Amino acid sequence: MDDQFPLPAAPLTVAAGQAACVPLDLVANAATAADLVHRAADRGAELLVLPELFLTGYELSGITADPDRHTTGAADPRLDPLRDACAAHCTALVVGAPTRTEDGTLHISALVLDRDGNVAATYDKQHATPSERAAGFAPGSRGTTLVLDGWRFGLSICWDSSFPEHARAAALDGCHGYLTGALFSPEFSAKANGFLFPARAMDNTSYTLLANHSGASGGYVGGGHSAIWGPLGELLDDAGVADPGLAVAEFDPEALRAARTAEPVLVDPTLTAPVRPRIVGGAL
């Protein structure tokens, strides 16, 4: 695998962010997200990941009631503060938002902004929950790998991370890390932080990251504790319940090499994962 997807040449500093968001106020939430970009960059982060549906909150009924107003995409001028923040700091961003295709299909998505602030990729949540499907949100059909300075990252949204095959598909596409934006309750975040994300790291000898909501959203309450784990499942940083809060860690190619030497789980020729198309977001 290293022959096809070599390890990165240099470390990369990555952050997971959290903050309360305003229901269905994309302008206000974009400003909060831009502030988190500034805060992350001040701590050396070259990539920031924010929670699921951060730009609107987890307001499914409100989004579906007025999708013209509450969905977004690459051409939306309301994202200009994010573009400016990313460009000012040369920091890339993954942020949760509702999107709509040309045929009107709604998705729970993650927008990827590159270091210049351009939307370089969009990932649509593949494992939409039964309640999300009932509300009118369709599951995505493709995984997404983004590439930043030689680092390959698989994108995940909330329930995606509960399926081991989802993270494995990213690893088999050469990903060095698995990045998740979520809305996990305090009860579930205790499980996610206690064993789910360390296990995803160990499963694939990959860095894992969770950016979780830290306040009320759409009838739920996020448990915070956005965090980052190393490729053997070791906790590297935890934002706790701070609002705003950041978990920041350096992703080290030598640590990754050592983990994959110690636990060569990705070299077994019988490894499989659901065969679904993947898109690569390009160099950020």
pLDDT score of 273: 73
What is 12-261's CATH topology? Answer: Nitrilase/N-carbamoyl-D-aminoacid amidohydrolase (3.60.110)
Name 252's Cβ contacts closer than 8 Å, sequence gap at least 6. 11
pLDDT score of 3: 62
Place of tokens 């064993």: 195
pLDDT score of 272: 75
Give the number of other Cβ atoms within 10 Å of residue 104's Cβ: 9
Spatial contact of 281 and 145, defined as CB atoms under 8 Å apart: yes
pLDDT score of 277: 74
Name 65's Cβ contacts closer than 8 Å, sequence gap at least 6. none
Q: Write the CA distances from 11 to 49, 93, 96, 193, 229, integer angstroms.
A: 17, 17, 25, 24, 15
Please tell me whether the overall predicted TM-score, pTM, comes out greater than 0.85 for this model: yes
How far separated are the first and last CA of the chain, in Å rounded? 22
| pLDDT < 70 positions in the chain | 1-4, 269, 274-275, 281-283
pLDDT score of 65: 98
Domain ranges within the chain, ordered by starting residue: 12-261
CA distance 174 to 208: 14
Spatial contact of 155 and 179, defined as CB atoms under 8 Å apart: yes
Spatial contact of 183 and 225, defined as CB atoms under 8 Å apart: no
pLDDT score of 105: 98
- Residue 48 pairs with which residues in a beta bridge? 15, 93
Give the number of other Cβ atoms within 10 Å of residue 103's Cβ: 5
pLDDT score of 1: 54
Place of tokens 């309640």: 131
